[in-house]
Amino acid sequence: EDKVVQSPLSLVVHEGDTVTLNCSYEVTNFRSLLWYKQEKKAPTFLFMLTSSGIEKKSGRLSSILDKKELFSILNITATQTGDSAVYLCAATDSWGKLQFGAGTQVVVTP
């Protein structure tokens, strides 16, 4: 059975801290790994990773995929209160279907 597991489920950090979110996956016919940020509405796209070992960066966020070990991490440096959200990891199969993890709730305190 396909599954995507995220850890931790939640964490609280102070502004300026760095957080690392983990995502492991077991998906038949895996094609890509995606990270989304969800605040009050629907998820917003952060990264899509298809190749192992190539880091993707966007501002203070970065992510990398390890296809041998079947996991990905999302890093957020110099966190701000606006980074508070649920971060969702999802894996796609060859049909493009997304299998989501349970999410990691990040709370950044001032």
Partner 1 sequence: GAVVSQHPSWVICKSGTSVKIECRSLDFQATTMFWYRQFPKQSLMLMATSNEGSKATYEQGVEKDKFLINHASLTLSTLTVTSAHPEDSSFYICSASRTALNQPQHFGDGTRLSIL
Q: Is 67 in the site for partner 1 (CB under 8 A)?
A: no
What does the alpha-carbon distance between residue 94 and residue 12 come to, in Å, rounded to a whole number? 36
What does the alpha-carbon distance between residue 72 and residue 40 come to, in Å, rounded to a whole number? 24
Segment 74 to 93, residues that bind partner 1, using CB under 8 A: 88, 92
What does the alpha-carbon distance between residue 71 and residue 75 come to, in Å, rounded to a whole number? 13
The contact mask relative to partner 1 for 2-41 (x = CB under 8 A, - = no) is -----------------------------xx-x-x----x
Residue of 87, 101, 106, 108 interacting with partner 1 (CB under 8 A): 101
Structure letter (DSSP) for residue 83:
G
- CA 53 to chain centroid: 15
Contact residues: partner 1, CB under 8 A: 31-32, 34, 36, 41-45, 48, 50, 88, 92, 95-103
